[in-house]
Amino acid sequence: MRRPIAAVAGVASGVLALVAAGCGGGGTTSGVQGASHTLAGGKKGGTITILSNGDVDHLDPGAAYYQFTYAITYVTQRPLLAYKPNSIQPTPDLAASMPTVSNGGRTVTVHIRHGVKFSPPVNREVTSADVKYAIERGFDAAVGNGYAGAYFGVIKGAPTKIVNKVPSISGIQTPDKYTIVFQLTKPSGIFVGALQEPLTAPVPAEYARKYDKGTASSYGDHQVATGPYMVQNNAAGKITGYTPGRQIVLVRNPNWNPKTSWRPAYADKIVFKEGFDPTVGTKQILSGQADANGDFPPPAANLKQILSNPSQKSELEFTPTAGARFVALNTQKAPFTNKYVRMAVAYVLDRNAMRLTRGGAIDGKIATHFIDPSFGNSGFNQAGGYGFNPFPSANNSGDVAKAEAMLKKAGFKSGKYSGPQITQVADNTPPGSNTAAVVANSLQKIGFNVKTISVQHAAMYTRFCGVPKNAPNICPNVGWIADFHEPQADLDANFDGTNILSANNVNWSQLNDPAINKLMAKAKGELNAEKRWAEWGQIDKMITSSAAAIPWLWEASPTLYSTRVTHATELWNGGEPDVSFMSVK
Amino acid sequence: MGAYIVRRTLWAILLLLVVSFLTFVIFNVFPSADPAALRAGRNATPALVHQIRINLGLNKPFYTQFWIYLKGLVEHFNLGYSYYNSESVKSEIFSRMPATISVTVGGFIVWMLIGLPVGIVSAIRPRSILDRVMMGTSLVAISAPVYFLGLVSLFLFAKGTGQLQWFGAAGSYVPITQNVGVWFNSLILPWFTLAAAFAAFYARMTRGNLIETMHEDYIRTARAKGLRESVVITKHGLRAALTPIVTMAGMDIGLLLGGAILTEIVFNIPGIGRYAYDAIVNSDLPAIQGTVLFGAFFIVFANLVVDILYAFLDPRVTYG
């Protein structure tokens, strides 16, 4: 999971989005709600300004792993596949066509486009060897890529140990300048989808190798581009358009050939201005001083005002975030080793009150399972869509009677939990701290005495919930956003029992159910998309029914545009503006 | 005097070491986020997290990490590199200093220009309507949080977002070397916002000190000698009343040079305060350490200067 902007939202305002009922016209079940703007025929020229509260994580495409950063990475770099606005269907970008899968799923062949060139100072044509080097450097700890092992570890010869050098991977072959072949150790249903990750964007070895030496690569500060834009640099290639925490300036890449790309690249210049308070930033967008929000959602108070003003409302779009917030119950620690105790919790949780801690209906729909509505027919509907809810209650406010019935099945004759005190580790700031308080209050109704340890959000993950030996009974503030729209990217890391790690563990429930593991193993190797999505839909149902984790929110992310620009929203990337499709009116 | 300065300087160095050590201890003892895991991302393997931990030197005991840090600081004046984006902390702090100095010095001038006259007027007309209005206003200004005052000023007077679009908007700051006019215009609201609370506090302090001083015997003597009231106030009253104010001013300037955090956040001024805030949000120890040390240095330095200035303002002070 790349870092979501929700992390920033938690700090800044704690409010993200809106349900379908309240938003602009043209809404769809799974797409960008309010997106009715044409993407073609924009005017060339001008400058677009995007505002953000924080900074990018890494400019280096090999290290970038943050929703906001991707808005910059995908217009400056060309991975093999990418997405058009309002779409979750991968489209060949550097690739000339969609990859072909052969040899029973063990060989994936990609042909890349002719005539794609690196920006100055490299200036030469991109070859398949540049893609090979880009992926190989992802396994170098100096680059520190966060997902290379998860998605590309299946390539033959991929390192199993992490080292401080760029390895040579035998399973990546380049028979000619425009062909790259991946030999896999086993069929992978997710591999082709993963070719949209920025790690597949070409990196010229002869230029980058000197920056990749040592314990921390500095290629990001000297990177070259293949997309329509590049981060402003000097003649030697040193980036000059990035001032950390202040701004990032993108200018046209003089070597970009529009005939090789589907991006219109209307604007001449894109400026990402950083450090904005969300309230001030929202006002500036409304006044036309800036053109869209990057990493912060407009605060709830502003959203309500915007929605009550018809002209402003039409500038607002809502995008599902491709994931769910959930409460993880530690299945390896009593009392949640007992399925019925977990089910009691699932019944009694007041999910409506939990959503209110993040702004109420304006923040999204109450989740009843894990695969979110933006997946549509690639998993959401197969999991039962909006109709699947194994733990229903009136107004989603919890059902004490059913919870007590479950506790009786678990051996608590009174229907109230009478075991020892349990612990939850929660955020120490709103809205997470408030959500945790609702969880504790809900559990109190059926006899639980919950001790809450409050820590910084990041510490909650990296010191407690992500470290099994320190893990509490409950992690009430966890969530996951899929890297791309394959259900495996949504469920595998969180619920496959073979993924439980000693540190940086994201299977927060430590769920290790042999039946679920077995079906996951099968689905991961399934190459037929329809069958694969059906299997993952079934897996979603099994996980939800196990009550190892209780989903409670499918968030949607608001993107606000100024009236001086056209809209282009990335459905695949949680509503980030696609600046290569935006134009100044 | 020389020996005193040397002794105070040595104490200052010791104090900075203690501050630095405490920051390290707090970061290591209390449950803060694991920088290696944050750097690696949620999908990373424990092996990668471990390797990054080694690369960042976080696998060593914290006292060893502290020793390495100190060594770098003393030998090369190296404040380390950000865990978040690998940028040099020293470069970041120095590149942000002009913005912070601009905010602090301008704010200081404004609050002194407002605070001292208001305090003096209130002191020489105690319990008058003017005094009550001024002190009441001061109370409101002290009570209003900078964050609130900043947002209100932006929504009233800033270009783009304000009802009266007179002054520079949030994020409009440019260095003075780039454009003096834009620089000045972008800082008017931050100066007044920052100055509001300080001016009010200084007005109340000046008033209190001056009223007390004006009841001293030597003031009565001065009046008895037939001196004009303005001379009595400015030459005899104010001089004594200002001594504690100079102390406070020195400490406040030192504090703000370490970063006027809230003002810089609201007005999006890329100063050290903004950097400190981002560092805390990102659990970026080297940046936190650098900004804390930097702020502590200015506070200690300002104290030293104030103590020396005391001798000139108050003849009773001697240096032993």
Are A463 and B34 within 8 A, CB to CB?
Answer: yes
Q: What is the pLDDT of residues B109-124, one digit of tens each?
A: 998 999 888 898 888 8
User: In whole angstroms, what separates CA A548 from the centre of its chain?
Assistant: 22
Å from A308 to nearest chain B CA?
19
Query: How high is the pLDDT of residue B7?
Result: 83
Per-residue pLDDT for A500 more than 60?
Answer: yes
Q: How far apart are CA A194 and CA A90, in angstroms?
A: 10
CA distance B310 to A195: 69
- For B:237-296, CB contacts with A below 8 A are 265-266, 268, 270, 274-275, 278, 281, 283
* Residue B170 forms contact with A (CB below 8 Å): yes
Report which DSSP code applies to B89.
Answer: H
Rounded Cα gap, residues A207 and A126, in angstroms: 13
* Contacts with B, A 308-367, CB within 8 Å: none
Question: Does an H or E element contain A559, and which?
Answer: strand A549-560
Residue A484 — φ and ψ, nearest 5°? Answer: -155, 170
Taking only the tens place, the pLDDT of each residue in A180-223 is: 999 999 999 999 999 999 999 999 999 999 999 988 899 999 99
Q: What is the pLDDT of residues A561-574, one digit of tens each?
A: 999 999 999 988 88
pLDDT in tens, B17-39: 998 898 888 877 776 788 888 87
**CB–CB contact B41 A243 (8 Å):** no
Contacts with B, A 16-75, CB within 8 Å:
51, 54-55, 57-58, 65
B84 inside 8 A of chain A by CB = yes
Strands A179-183 and A172-176: antiparallel
- Taking phi over 0 as left and psi of -120 to 50 as alpha, with beta for the rest, A384 belongs to left
In the stretch 85-124 of chain B, residues with CB closer than 8 A to chain A read: 85-87, 92, 95
What are the start-end ranges of the E strands in chain B?
none
B50 touches chain A (CB under 8 A): yes
Residue type, B199: A
pTM over 0.80: yes
- Reduced to 3 states (helix: H, G, I; strand: E, B; else coil), residue A277 is coil
Tell whether B169 is within 8 A of chain A (Cβ): yes
β A81-82/A100-102 pair status: unpaired
From the CA of A246, how many Å to the nearest CA of chain B? Answer: 6
* H-type alpha helices, A273-420: 278-287, 300-307, 310-313, 339-348, 351-356, 400-409
B266 to chain A: which residues are within 8 Å by CB? 277, 280
- Straight-line distance from the first to the last Cα atom of chain A, in angstroms, rounded to the nearest whole number: 35
pLDDT computed for residue A294 by the predictor: 93
Q: What is the distance, to the nearest Å, from the Cα of residue B203 to the centroid of all Cα atoms in its chain?
A: 19
Locate tokens 């699932």: which residue?
Answer: A346
ipTM of the predicted assembly exceeds 0.95:
no
| Residues B55-73: tens digit of each pLDDT | 888 888 888 988 988 898 8
Distance CA A559, CA A23 (A): 12
Residue A106 has pLDDT above 70, yes or no: yes
CB contact under 8 A, B171 and A3: no
Subunit contact A504:B154, Cβ cutoff 8 A: no
What residues contact residue B1 under an 8 Å CB cut-off, 6+ apart? B319
Q: Please give the single-letter amino acid code of residue A525.
A: G
Total Cβ atoms within 10 A of residue B247: 17
With an 8 Å Cβ cutoff, is A218 touching chain B? yes
- Decide if B46 and A275 are in contact by the 8 Å CB cutoff: no
Strand pairing of A450-455 and A422-427? parallel
A410-454 pLDDT, tens per residue? 999 999 999 999 999 999 888 899 999 999 999 999 999 999 999
CA angle B205, B209, B212 (to 5 degrees): 145
Tokens representing B204 are: 């109340």
Q: What is the CA radius of gyration of chain B?
A: 24
Cα–Cα dist A455/A452, whole Å: 10
Q: How are the residues of chain B apportioned to helix, strand and coil, as percentages rounded to the nearest 5? A: 75, 0, 25
How much of chain B exceeds pLDDT 90, in percent? 25
Q: Is the pLDDT of residue A20 over 70?
A: no
The string of DSSP codes covering A66-94 is: BHHHHHHHHHH---SEE--TT--S-EESS
3-class DSSP string for A112-144:
ECCCCECCCCCCCECCHHHHHHHHHHCCECCCC
CB B20, CB B292: distance < 8 Å: yes
The distance in angstroms from the start CA to the end CA of chain B is 8
**Residue numbers in A near B49 (CB within 8 A):** 503-504
Determine the length of chain B. 320
Pairing mode, strands A47-51 and A292-293: parallel
Cα dist. A435→A14, A186, A444, A477, A558 in Å?
11, 42, 14, 7, 21
